[in-house]
Each structure stands twice: as C-alpha cells, then as structure tokens.
Amino acid sequence: MTTLLRTEDVRKAYGGVHALDSCTVEVEEGSVAGLIGPNGSGKTTLFNVVTGYAKADAGHVYLSGKKITNVSPDKVFALGIGRTFQLTRIFASLTVLENMLVASRNGRSAARRHAMEQLEFVGIAGHHAALAGTLSYGQRKLLELAYVLVADPAVILLDEPAGGINLSLVNHIADRIRELNAAGKTFLIVEHNMEFVMGLCDQVTVLDSGAVVAAAYLGEDPDPEDADPAEDE
Amino acid sequence: MGSTVMRTQRATAGLALIVLAAAAVAFPLVFSSPVITNYAVYALIFVAVVSAWNVFSGFSGYISLGHAVFFGSGAYTVGIAARDWHVNGVSVFALLPVAAAVGAVIAVPFGLVALRVRRHTFIVITIAVFFIFQLMAANFSFTGGSVGVAAPFLPWNPTSFNDHFYYITLGCAVVAIVIAVLVRRSRFGLQLRAIRDDEDRARGLGVRTMKVKLTAFVLSATVSGLVGGVWFLYLTQVQPPSGYDPLFDLSLVLMAFLGGLGTIIGPVLGALIIEPGQLYLTIRYTSGYLSEILLGALFLLVALFVPRGIVPTVGEWVKRLRTRGRPAVEAVPAPATASPPEATGAPASEARR
C-alpha cells in the first residue's frame, strides 16, 4: 500500500499550550484509519492543520507525496481532501439540495443529478427541498457527509461521525463509510466510540498531548514484541 | 399533477409580472402630477440601489454602511466629467457608464481592505471609508468643496421632466432587479449565500470566498455608481452632505430589513414603502428631523417584531397555513429503507474486515 496522507513532525501551539507536538501520522491509500485519544489530545487540531483551517508552526503535511502544508482550505478541498466537523456545520438557510451544490463543480443539471445520487446514498433525498436548518442533528450528519462526497475527494476526514446520534444511525453511517471504502475512498476518522472505530478501521493511531503514543494495523497478527497499548485496553 | 400545479403557478406569476410591468409603464400617464412622479422617481432610485446593495449585503451577510461612497462618487463623476469635458444636453447620459466604472474602480481597493474582516469590524470599516470620501469631497477643489457640483441643463419641457426620469429610473430598477435575480439563481449567488451562513465552512468546500465577496461588492458598487449618476442629473446638483449622506446607507439597511434581507422582492417592497414615506414627511414637516426620528423608530419596530422582514414572515405564515397539521420535515429517515440494496445494515462491530 502507498501512503496517501502523511503529517510529518507537525507542531502547533496555542499560546503556551502545545496542541500538536511532533505529530507524525500516516494514512494508507484505500484504508479506513482511526485517530483516537482523550479530549484535548490534538485530534481536531490535526484535522484543522491538514485541511488548512489552522497553520502548522512546524512540520509538513503531504498528500500523495505532494507538500500541502498551510495551504488554504479551499485549495486543500480542491486537491482532494474533504472533511466533516465535530459539531455539524451546514448552511442552515439553504435547502438540502443547495447545500450539496455549494461544493459541486459540474454544470447545473449534472450537478443536481450527482447531488441527488449522493443524497439517495446517505438516505435523505426525500428532504432535498427542505431548508437544511430544519433537519435533525442526525440528518445534518448525513448531509455533511453527502456534500463532502459531491466533489469526489480522494481522502475524507470525519470528525466524530458517530457523536450524538442514535445506534441505528451510527450503523447507517458505518455502512456508508464501508461502501465508500470498498469503492476506493480513503478515510481518516476521529471518534470516541471505540466499537465504531474497531469495527471499521484498518489502522488506528493514538494521540495524547499532541503526540502519537501508539499506532497499529488492526488487520495484522499481533506481534508480541511490539505490543500496542491501544489494543491492550 | 405536480407539474400541472407548477405550470399554473408559473403562468400566474408570468401574468402578474405582465400586469405589474404594464402598470409601471402606465403610471406617469395616469398620475401626471409632478408631485406624484417625483415620489415615484425617488422610490425607483432606491429600488435600484437597494437591489444592488442586496446583491452584496443581502446575499453575503456583510452589511455595508458604505454604499453612499459609490452612489456619491457616481454622482460626482457625472458632474465633474460634464463640467470638465464640456458635455451638455442629453449627451450627459453617455457619462453614466463612467459613473458605473468609477464605482467599480473604487470598490476594488475598498473591498480588498474591508473584506479581510467580518461582521461588526467590516461595518465599522465601511463607515470609516464613507467619512473619508465625504471629507475628501468637502475639501478637494475639483469636487467643488462644500459648494459641490451642478448638473448641466437638460433641454426638456418642465412638465415632462419627471416623466423622462421616471422611465430612466424604472429602467435602472429593472436592470438592478434582473441582476439580483440572475445572481441569486447562479452558482455564484449560492456561494454568496453559503458565505452568509458559514464562511469558513464554504472555504472548506472549495469556495474562494474573497474572490466571491469582492466580485459581489464590485458588481453592487457598479450599479450603485450608475444610479448615483442618474440621481445627480435628476437633482441637478451634488454637495458633500447630500452625495455622501450617512442616512442613505441607514435607509438602505432599513428598506432591506423591512422587506426581507437577501430576498429579491423584500428590499424592493421596503424601498417602495420607506422612500415615499420619508419624502412625504420631509416635505410635509420641513423641520426635517421628524422623518429621521420616525426612521429610527421604524428600525426598532422592525428589529423587534419582524426581524426577518415582511416577505419571509408572510411567506412563513402562508407555509404554516398550507402545512397545518403536518410536519414541514419528516423525522429521521429509516436507515434500512434509505440504504442501497447492497448495504448490509449490520452493526459496525460485526463488520470488521
């Protein structure tokens, strides 16, 4: 497998707080990678640095070997990295379909058709004409996933996709991720729901205080010489 | 069934538009009094300029209190160009594109500075730039200082003078509304509205926000500059306090908020209500302050009772009546039915590969 996304010795501090400290994370192409760790361990900060929402103080971010450190969010998206947020961020005053079209680069009719396909895929096509602000929290999660898919990104960063939603919707989202991954999409997922992570991810990286403390490929046979604290738990 | 309803709605809307257009064209023929047509001309000037303002501020959510800069500069441009280039008679209307171009040229550096910040800071910067222009107009010699600039004489019969301007301002209003409609329906308009909801999220979805905002700002300034030129020719003079009038922008904001910020019809409705009312009070009570006091009071009433404006509020009432007893949006979809046929629906924990 080749490395699609890589952060190398990334550092980020807010005042005296080191949110990321020499953080190196690799995501293999075609994999579902999990990023776990306690609150404040730097998971979302790493997402922000990768997607251009925060500037790295030091270190680099690479996508397919190309350096994309501190590139603006619109360019990062154009390069093929889409993301969702821990607290869903949708365009509340636009309709569901209009939300989908914001990220689209196709012509009008092709864009609408593609957007409707994605809405069908996540299961909220019936609400395409509703204002996004009227959707429930779970539906917003699905919408956020759908409009990231519109531009067909190479790698998708999901920040707590299972957070704050019921079990059936968690399973629904997991199924969608699995199908997309089978179709070749690469994922990096921040999640506190360990059942969700262990059921979905090929590789897991553990962050603490901004640094990687463990990393493992879940599909491999455990090596007693290289015990992984994450799996021990 | 649905398409039949849609066709009927479209036909009704088309018919209403034709009736409205016919009424607008026939207005000065029916109401020939210059007093009435004077009201109509001012109302149409504000319909045009508030629609232009709405293209930027209404769609993007960046509330500009500096559009008087473009309006006043358009007025001064026509006046100074006519004076210095010795343009007389109706040829002076050929200078209107220059007024529009000056509005656009000013908007580029203005926007590059102001659009780097958001919300209240943006508003403060627009006010600051506005006062810079007012002070420059009062102090530069080429602007005529505090005396201002007078317009060249138009060789029109005084009895039909207002009628000419009625049709000119009607044309400006139609152009501004059509631009607003086209922008709102375009991908560019969608990106502006996405910026209004969550600018950072829009950036994360590939929207080049600075470029989109600046384009809308320049487009809005272009129309404002042109309308400012028409206003100057109608008023026949411009001075710093009238060209760069702080009440101008407050009126625009109130018109848009009263009618419905970001809608097409709302700001038009606001202009048609507020401008004639303001003009009537100014003419009726010559002290001049009453209209300003009432304008402020109206602002408070709108903010308290119709914060979203007339058009969205009435639209919501109509929707409530139509959907009475039914939820506007159904509950969370059942994942099993929403999944494609090949989806297993198995719990995540059971599906580890």
Whether the Cβ atoms of residue A85 and residue A60 lie closer than 8 Å to each other: no
CA distance B170 to B336: 56
Q: Is A21 helix (H, G, I), strand (E, B) or coil?
A: strand
Average pLDDT score over residue span A132-155: 91
Q: Does B84 touch chain A (CB under 8 A)?
A: no
Of B205, B338, B344, Cβ closest to residue A103: B205
The rounded percent of chain B whose pLDDT value lies above 70 is: 90
Residues of B whose CB is below 8 A from A172: 335, 338-339, 345
Report the residue from B194, B207, B331 with minimal CB separation from A94.
B194
Cα angle for residues A168, A171, A175 (degrees, 5° grid): 140
Helix residue ranges per DSSP H, chain A: 43-50, 73-79, 96-102, 108-122, 137-149, 167-182, 194-200, 229-232
CB count in 10 Å sphere of residue B310: 19
**Among A143, A164, A156, which Cα is nearest to A183's?**
A156
Which residues on B lie below 8 Å from A105 (Cβ)? 206
Candidates A28, A151, A147; CA nearest to A80 is A151
Cα B337 versus chain centre, distance: 46
- What chain A holds in terms of domains, given with CATH numbers, is 3-89+144-232 (3.40.50.300)
Q: What is the pTM of this model?
A: 0.87
The tens place of each residue's pLDDT in chain B, 353 residues long, gives 557 777 888 888 889 999 999 999 999 999 989 999 999 999 999 999 999 999 999 999 999 999 999 999 999 999 999 999 999 889 999 999 999 999 999 999 999 999 999 888 999 999 999 999 999 999 999 999 989 999 888 888 888 899 999 999 999 999 999 999 999 999 999 999 999 999 999 999 999 999 999 999 999 999 999 999 999 999 999 999 999 998 899 999 999 999 999 999 999 999 999 999 888 888 887 766 777 888 888 888 988 888 888 888 888 888 888 777 565 555 544 444 334 333 333 333 333 33
Q: Do A105 and B351 touch (CB under 8 A)?
A: no
User: A171 and B200: CB-CB below 8 Å?
Assistant: no
Complex-level ipTM: 0.87
- In this prediction, residue B344 carries a pLDDT of 33
Q: What is the distance in angstroms between the Cα of B305 and the nearest Cα belonging to chain A?
A: 20
- Residue owning tokens 């590789």: A203
Is A91 in contact with B332 (Cβ distance < 8 A)?
Answer: no
8 A C-beta contact, residue B212 and residue B195? yes
| A115 CB-near residues (< 8 Å, 6+ apart) | A97, A100, A101, A104, A128, A146, A147, A150
User: Looking at CA atoms only, how far is residue B129 from chain A in angstroms?
Assistant: 29
Residue-level pLDDT at B102 = 97
Q: Which of A183, A178, A81, A86 is nearest to A140 (CA)?
A: A86
Residue-wise pLDDT for A11-50, tens only, equals 999 988 899 999 999 999 999 999 999 999 999 999 999 9
